[in-house]
Amino acid sequence: STIVLLFEAPRDFAFNLKAGQKIRYGEPLGSM
Amino acid sequence: FSPVSLGLQARLRPLPLILATGGGYVGYDQYGRYRDRELEKLGIEVEPRVANEAQVGLYKTIPTRLLSRAWGRLNQVELPTWLRKPVYSLYIWTFGVNMQEAAVEDLHHYRNLGEFFRRKLKPQARPVCDSHCVISPADGKILHFGRVRNCEVEQVKGVTYSLETFLGPHTWAESLVDATRNEDDASSFQDLLVTKEGNELFHCVVYLAPGDYHCFHSPTDWTVAHRRHFPGSLMSVNPGVARWIKELFCHNERVVLSGEWTHGFFSLTAVGATNVGSIRIYFDKELRTNAPRYSKGSYNDFSYISNNNREGVAMRKGEHLGEFNLG
């Protein structure tokens, strides 16, 4: 199964992720 | 030369031809993938090999919903106590489940695999990050993330799907977006979603593997105003298939929750798959997924905004939101 987040945010929003990395619920995806 | 053996020979004769053709096709396809991998090792960007219409059509003929419901029925059968440990231990070993984090570690506690699949975690197992405004809603693997451009969202690098097909028409937002912004102001569907000047549209795809904890939580502080349920196929969504079938997430059964957060539009979509065909949203008792019958391309809307609740359902970052279930 998959979860897709789609949201608007200010232009300076940045993800701190790498494609393919493992992630756990509660860990940060990104911030302004 | 009895009639029986002649009949049998006639039936068997095409078999070698079918095997040779199929084997040749698989061999050719595997060679192509091998060559792509070699090119990627040399740092040469290779277009992903996306399935053509015929291959997608062939894949969609597989009765994935029927298989999914049968798999769900099987996993509702209560296991005798002596069988629980071996069955769940096999599942744990196969999918690398970490039982130390489970709220109940005793395998005999779970009456069937469906209950085991819905296991909860110890509260302290997943501290919710306070310093970031958006957190991961679930355990899993990041398939893709980034800015949405030209109304196309990438499911994995290089393989996209249409934003409008995925979310459906922008009718849910009448109650959200102020009247001044009407449809012809926006040059595209994507612009309709962005409600504030200077904002962009972002996306993130989290793939949950069979051994992962399969409940999901609110990724931020937001209010959920609307639910759109798209019945659909239940093709596998593992990364290999996501690289192969364009628009995969638009074919599959999914539940789109949309609403607002501090910066405007926010949505979370749970996409089902063959082994996890059912999606539950804890505050939405009306939602029924993976039903036997549905009409192709249909969807059903449900608004959480009512006369005495003009905002919708308020969700705190990290709050329990829903779960995927087997079958």
pLDDT at B258 over 90: yes
Tell whether B204 is within 8 A of chain A (Cβ): yes
As a whole number of angstroms, the distance between CA B49 and CA B40 comes to: 13
Confidence bin at B323 (pLDDT 50/70/90): very high
Q: What is the mean pLDDT of residues B279-283?
A: 96
CB spacing of B201 vs A7 below 8 angstroms: yes
CA distance linking residue A26 with residue B215, whole number of Å: 12
Q: Report strand pairing: B222-230 vs B254-261.
A: antiparallel
B167, two tokens: 């979310």
- Among chain A residues, the shortest Cα distance to B219 is held by A26
- For residue B108, the tally of other CB atoms under 10 A from its CB is 12
Which of B136, B149, B154, B234 is the mutation pick for testing A, counting most A CBs within 10 A?
Answer: B136
In B, minimum Cα distance to A14 occurs at B146
What does B212-266 look like in DSSP terms, one character per residue? S--EEE-SSSEEEEEEEEE--B----SHHHHHHSTTHHHHB-EEEEEEEETTEEE
In angstroms, the CA B90 to CA B113 distance is 11
B193 has pLDDT over 60:
yes
* Amino acid letter for position B238: N
Residue A15 and residue B204 in contact, taking contact as beta carbons nearer than 8 Å: yes
Distance from CA of B83 to the nearest CA of A (A): 27
The CA distance from B169 to B183, in Å, is 11
Set of chain A residues whose Cβ sits within 8 Å of the Cβ of B238: none
Fill in the DSSP letter of residue B309. Answer: B
Query: Which residues 58-117 in chain B show a CB within 8 A of chain A?
Result: none
Interface contacts A/B by beta carbons within 8 Å: 181
Could you tell me if B137 and B216 are in contact, meaning their C-beta atoms sit under 8 angstroms apart?
A: yes
CB spacing of B126 vs A17 below 8 angstroms: no
Of B24-28, B59-63, B67-71, B314-318, the poorest mean pLDDT is in B24-28
The residue-averaged pLDDT of B263-286 equals: 95
Contact predicate B208/B139, CB 8 Å: yes
List CB contacts of B68: < 8 A, sequence separation 6 or more. B234, B272, B274, B275, B276, B277, B290, B327
pLDDT of residue B179: 40
- 136-155 in B: which are within 8 Å (CB) of A? 136-146, 148, 153
pLDDT score of B187: 61
Distance in angstroms (rounded) separating the CA atoms of residues B250 and B242: 11
Confidence of residue B30 (pLDDT cuts 50, 70, 90): confident
pLDDT at B52 over 60: yes
Q: Which residue of B has its CA nearest to A30?
A: B134
Instruction: Tell me the pLDDT tens digit for each residue of B166-190.
Output: 999 988 765 444 444 455 555 688 8
Q: Strand, helix or coil at A23?
A: strand
